[in-house]
Amino acid sequence: MMMILVELFISFFQIGLFSFGGGYASIPLIFQQVTVVHTWMSELQLNDLITISQMTPGPIAINAATFIGIEMGGFWGSVVATCAVILPSIILVSILARFYMKYKDMLWLQDILAFLRPAVVALIASAGVSIMISAFFNEGIISFDTFLFYRLLFFFGALILIRKKNNPVLVMFLCGICEVIITLI
């Protein structure tokens, strides 16, 4: 039990330390640690976890750490993983806040921040593409007809968001209703 707690701490500390850019930027790191390094979950299970983490309040990395921690080490696993994922942020933000307040007007600092923005966008795009590939091209799990329905539902949902500028929560709710109707049929 102690070994799994140490592994959870080290893994989620690394995720917390290197996931610049928020929750979506941490998804590739979570994927690497959870499915490749430790094989605690399959790719499909992790996709389900990401979905659940988006539906529950709170940041994705913290929700994922709590869920994976509970799965692997029970209550103490969730405590260790959750604390490990937030500890680097607490340390780094404390140091950076002091540093930023002292040097915020310097040009070289503004250049560094401008350099980091595209890297964060690339991490978020990588996470989105990975989830989309896994969700849309993993046809061995559900029938092709149902799979086609999900692709069409995604396409029309995205089209409504882009063209009509509707509220994303309303579009997700309508897509959920469509899925329930199709499931019942």
Q: How confident is the model over 50-86, as pLDDT tens digits?
A: 888 777 777 888 888 999 999 999 999 999 999 999 9
Looking at the domain assignment, is residue 152 inside a domain? no
State the total domains in the chain: 1
Q: What is the mean pLDDT of the chain?
A: 83
- Looking at the chain, the whole-number percentage of residues with pLDDT higher than 90 is 23
**How many CB atoms sit inside 10 A of residue 78's CB?**
19
CA 105 to each of CA 61, 70, 99, 101, 111: distance values in angstroms, whole numbers, following the listed order: 32, 44, 11, 9, 11
**The two structure tokens encoding residue 32:** 């690497």
Verdict on whether the full-model pTM lies above 0.85: no
Structural domain harbouring 30: 2-105
Looking at the domain assignment, is residue 64 inside a domain? yes
Looking at the domain assignment, is residue 135 inside a domain? no
pLDDT tens-digit map of 25-35: 788 888 889 98
Looking at the domain assignment, is residue 137 inside a domain? no
Looking at the domain assignment, is residue 95 inside a domain? yes
Q: Which helix (H) or strand (E) holds 147?
A: helix 144-164
Looking at the domain assignment, is residue 147 inside a domain? no
